[in-house]
Amino acid sequence: MKDLIFFLLVGLGLGALYAMLGSGLVIVYRGSGVINFAHGAFAMYGVFTFDEARRNGHLRLPWVDFLPTHWLNVPVSIKLSDKGVPTPVAFVLAIAMAVLIGLLAHFLVFRPLRNSAALGKVVASVGVMLYLQGVAQLNFGGGNRQASSIVPDSAVRNFLGLGKTYPEGALWAVGISVLMGVTLWAIFKYTQFGLATRGAAGNEKGAVLLGYSPQFLAAMNWVIASVVATAAAIIVGPIQGSLTPVGLSALVVGALGAALIGGLRSIMVAMWGGLALGAVQSLLGLYSTRSWFPEFLRSGARDVVPLAVIVLVLFLRGKSLPQRGSLEEKRLPLSPRPVRIPQHTVIWALVVIGAAFVFQNSGSRTVFAFALSTSLIAAILMLSMVVVTGYVGQISLAQMSLAGIAAFFMARMMAHGATTASNPFPVSGPGLPWPVAGLLGVIAAVVVGVLVGLPAVRIRGVQLAVVTVAAAISLQTLYFENQSATDLSAGAPANVRPASFFGISLASLGSKGLTDRPAFAIFVMIVLVLCAVAVSNVRRNGTGRRFLAVRANERAAAAAGINVARTKLLAFGIGAGIAGIGGVMLAFKQNDVSSANFVYQSSLAFLAFAYLGGITSVNGAIVGGLLAPAGIITATSNYFLKGTSIDRYVTVLGGAALVFTAISNPNGIAPAFQEMLRHLGNWLRQARGKEWAAVGKRLGPAFVIGAVAGFAIWPLRVDSYSKVWMPILGGLIGLLVRSIVLGIRQSITAKQQKRRRRSGPAPTRREPGAIGAGARTAVGSGVDTHVALAHAEQV
């Protein structure tokens, strides 16, 4: 009994961190409707700022200088002292940094996204997280830092007569977290600001009518949340573990648990929930070492059991979770009806087949062969996200886990008790041939996918995202890393024998060891084409229309006779099947797959790339595949920018690109790319000398200025950039800057026109492409435009 009490108490230290971070998540959600996956990263940057100022006397600003030169640089660091500043000064600096980050996050990222769909905000928060992690890596280094405590942290012997030693710092952390929770609760309950925030959370229009600015309130809430996160991380000190750019970011799962226990509404409940979560985890840590504890749960009990409880809570009270009332309806980008499928298929297939042969054993360019198969498989995986998220609007962060189910299950079905080069321990299994094993793997993925989708019947949006994270972590622990399920000892990878087809080997590795066999690339391409055609057909038939109707408005869909639950589960099943096929192909490519392939962060990254590509279309998945880790775009940038220092900034640039896309082009790259290609094709057909000259006149100056700047900057750089590529890069940046400037100018002009229109008589002329009056009415009556469009399409 003493053990039980003590270990519950000892977990309160970590619980205090969950409580404070969870409170911050609730504040941000109420203030701006965002579930901030970057919340842990905010705390991370703040605590690094504190540590760096105290240890080395530097203040590192939250950005980097991409083009450092010998004489003109963007300031990224301010030296305050040679030996480090006193602790109170460092604390103030860290809090100031938290304020700055909160404001920047609001004004640069989430304010522009205020009318975006939840998915856009999730992706943007992932972008912010990546950005901050990348900046922290560059500014603070990846060294081994241990956080020190700013509160008394001596050992309390025989704590409460329980016969054990308790760290005093944990008591302080708990006390401060409770104090902080009560203070925040009081602020939001009794102050005008708090009441206004709560009011705006319920009804933005009402808040506006009462004279409050929801965006000002949101900014204040971002600042409060950021400050709370930073203060929490500094106060708990060593409880958070080593200081790393990703450490605190990972704790956001626990904090989300606390926030969800509080229903994303109650700071006090979130606080107590966080404390309870920490306590339960500590107790499970103790019990999991006991002999009576189930072996299959031993390793992951600390992570899985609390998450399971959260999922249960969410499921039971799912429909009571708040959806923020906002000024405008938030919707996902349009999902265009696929057209010219045969033509697209033939073009893509020819390009892939050509590339597969061109890059085989082609010297240094062989890296593109590897990248090609990587991109094709990633595109398959992203197609599963197109179905689940793009078509039905359900955010699933377990798609990679479903791929893993198929891969691991297939590997087990192919195993026949023999050892392999990568695994000296024999794995038992029926030794089935690859088509049967692969099919069984996909079926297993579908079954699990439907189970994972069950909570979607009652909950949706970001809450569902958190539930799927829980599912992904559970699958990781209970299946991929569970020897009793996989028969894999010592973390050995699951081995998959290469496939063959009527004597033709479909192995990925060539004779020289490179992943460059055209037969494998074509094999993957055929599978991708089949999946893409299937998804396109789903979109084009009644199933797709039902998907879109559910995505647009579940109530309206139900009113129209659609079985929402069945539709959602069908989407999860189809998505899981496609993800499973992707997992099977990944296994064939890698030959050895490990649990690391299928962590939930992989799903998050793939979701982000799918969003970048365009998550609502098949072409978007293909573009997303090109962008995927180790895919074509990576290979291209590595190949052409070799020797530059640009690779140092990939995390920062990647995060910034995600945010930029979420804000400026929520449809993703593919639709814009398609549009651009169409224009380009038409233009090239018609262009004569005069047209060429006109384009040169329009774009030439920006390109030339950029190129000259690129060439001029090169010798000034501290690092080495290519003489050839830097001017080209400069030219392209010049064009980008030009388009941004033009975009801003257009938006200003549009605003002015809007203002003039408001002050003048109402326009009678309909804008080309504007939706019809029926659709407007539908929006006004609570039915989304997409339903109307879907309806129109049916008609």
Is residue 8 within 8 Å of residue 279, measured between CB atoms?
A: yes
- Within residues 399-458, the interface with other proteins by CB under 8 A covers 419, 421-425
Q: Which stretch binds other proteins (CB under 8 A): 345-353, 391-399, 585-593, 729-737?
A: 585-593
- Within residues 603-662, the interface with other proteins by CB under 8 A covers 604-605, 608-609, 612, 627-631, 633-635, 637-638, 641, 646-655, 657-658
User: 263 or 731, CB closer to other proteins?
Assistant: 731
Is residue 332 within 8 Å of residue 547, measured between CB atoms?
A: no
Kindly write out the interface string for residues 199-228 of this chain, putting x where it contacts other proteins by CB under 8 A and - elsewhere. ------------------------------
Q: What does the angle CA 617 – CA 622 – CA 626 come to, to the nearest 5 degrees?
A: 140
- CA dihedral of 610, 612, 616, 617, whole degrees rounded to 10: -80
The 10 Å Cβ neighbour count of residue 274 is: 31
Burial class from Cβ neighbours inside 10 Å (0-12, 13-18, 19+) for residue 723 reads exposed
User: 466 or 790, CB closer to other proteins?
Assistant: 466
* Binder of other proteins out of 112, 199, 238, 322 (CB under 8 A): 238
Q: Which stretch binds other proteins (CB under 8 A): 139-147, 539-547, 576-584, 711-719?
A: 139-147
For 330-371, the three-class secondary structure string (H helix, E strand, C coil) is CCCCCCCCCCCHHHHHHHHHHHHHHHHHHCCCCHHHHHHHHH
- Within residues 353-392, the interface with other proteins by CB under 8 A covers 363-367, 369-371, 374
The length of the chain is 795
Site membership for other proteins, residue 194 (CB under 8 A): no
User: 42 or 188, CB closer to other proteins?
Assistant: 42
* Binder of other proteins out of 5, 78, 155, 451 (CB under 8 A): 155
Q: Which stretch binds other proteins (CB under 8 A): 214-222, 298-306, 447-455, 767-775?
A: 298-306
Is residue 479 within 8 Å of residue 613, measured between CB atoms?
A: no
Site membership for other proteins, residue 783 (CB under 8 A): no
Kindly write out the interface string for residues 320-359 of this chain, putting x where it contacts other proteins by CB under 8 A and - elsewhere. ----------------------------------------
Shortest distance (Å) from residue 132 CB to other proteins: 9
Site membership for other proteins, residue 102 (CB under 8 A): no
Shortest distance (Å) from residue 548 CB to other proteins: 28
Please provide the distance, in angstroms rounded to a whole number, between the alpha carbons at the two ends of the chain.
69
User: 166 or 523, CB closer to other proteins?
Assistant: 166
Site membership for other proteins, residue 583 (CB under 8 A): no
Q: Which stretch binds other proteins (CB under 8 A): 111-119, 244-252, 305-313, 702-710?
A: 244-252
Site membership for other proteins, residue 793 (CB under 8 A): no
* Binder of other proteins out of 13, 46, 62, 390 (CB under 8 A): 13
Kindly write out the interface string for residues 663-702 of this chain, putting x where it contacts other proteins by CB under 8 A and - elsewhere. ----------------------------------------
- Distance in angstroms (rounded) separating the CA atoms of residues 613 and 669: 5
* Binder of other proteins out of 76, 92, 151, 286 (CB under 8 A): 286
Site membership for other proteins, residue 158 (CB under 8 A): no
- Which of 140, 97, 138 shows the shortest CA–CA distance to 242? 140
Residues linked to residue 78 through DSSP beta bridges, in sequence order: 59
Shortest distance (Å) from residue 609 CB to other proteins: 6
- Within residues 491-510, the interface with other proteins by CB under 8 A covers 491-493, 509-510
- Within residues 712-771, the interface with other proteins by CB under 8 A covers none
Shortest distance (Å) from residue 302 CB to other proteins: 7
User: 487 or 784, CB closer to other proteins?
Assistant: 487
Is residue 145 within 8 Å of residue 243, measured between CB atoms?
A: yes
Q: Which stretch binds other proteins (CB under 8 A): 482-490, 554-562, 699-707, 762-770?
A: 482-490
- Distance in angstroms (rounded) separating the CA atoms of residues 487 and 347: 44
Count of residues in contact with other proteins, rule CB under 8 A: 122
Lookup result for tokens 């198969």: 373
C-alpha count within 13 angstroms, C-beta hemisphere, residue 464: 24
Shortest distance (Å) from residue 633 CB to other proteins: 5
Is residue 658 within 8 Å of residue 126, measured between CB atoms?
A: yes
- Distance in angstroms (rounded) separating the CA atoms of residues 118 and 386: 16
With b for 16 or more beta-carbon neighbours within 10 A and e for fewer, the 7-37 pattern comes to bbbbbbbbbbbbbbbbbbbbbbbbbbbbbbb
User: 276 or 658, CB closer to other proteins?
Assistant: 658
**Per-residue DSSP letters for 24-69?**
HHHHHHHHHS---TTHHHHHHHHHHHHHHHHHH-EEE-S---SS-B
SS3 content of the chain, % helix, strand, coil (to 5): 70, 5, 25
- Distance in angstroms (rounded) separating the CA atoms of residues 33 and 20: 19
Shortest distance (Å) from residue 380 CB to other proteins: 14
Site membership for other proteins, residue 192 (CB under 8 A): no
* Binder of other proteins out of 43, 119, 488, 581 (CB under 8 A): 488
User: 302 or 344, CB closer to other proteins?
Assistant: 302
Shortest distance (Å) from residue 422 CB to other proteins: 5
Three-class SS state of 617: coil
Site membership for other proteins, residue 43 (CB under 8 A): no
- Distance in angstroms (rounded) separating the CA atoms of residues 35 and 113: 13
Q: What does the angle CA 255 – CA 260 – CA 262 come to, to the nearest 5 degrees?
A: 100
User: 290 or 685, CB closer to other proteins?
Assistant: 290
Q: Which stretch binds other proteins (CB under 8 A): 111-119, 152-160, 521-529, 533-541?
A: 152-160
Q: What is the DSSP letter of 715?
A: H
User: 219 or 410, CB closer to other proteins?
Assistant: 410
Shortest distance (Å) from residue 352 CB to other proteins: 18
Lookup result for tokens 């972008």: 127
Shortest distance (Å) from residue 165 CB to other proteins: 5
Three-class SS state of 243: strand
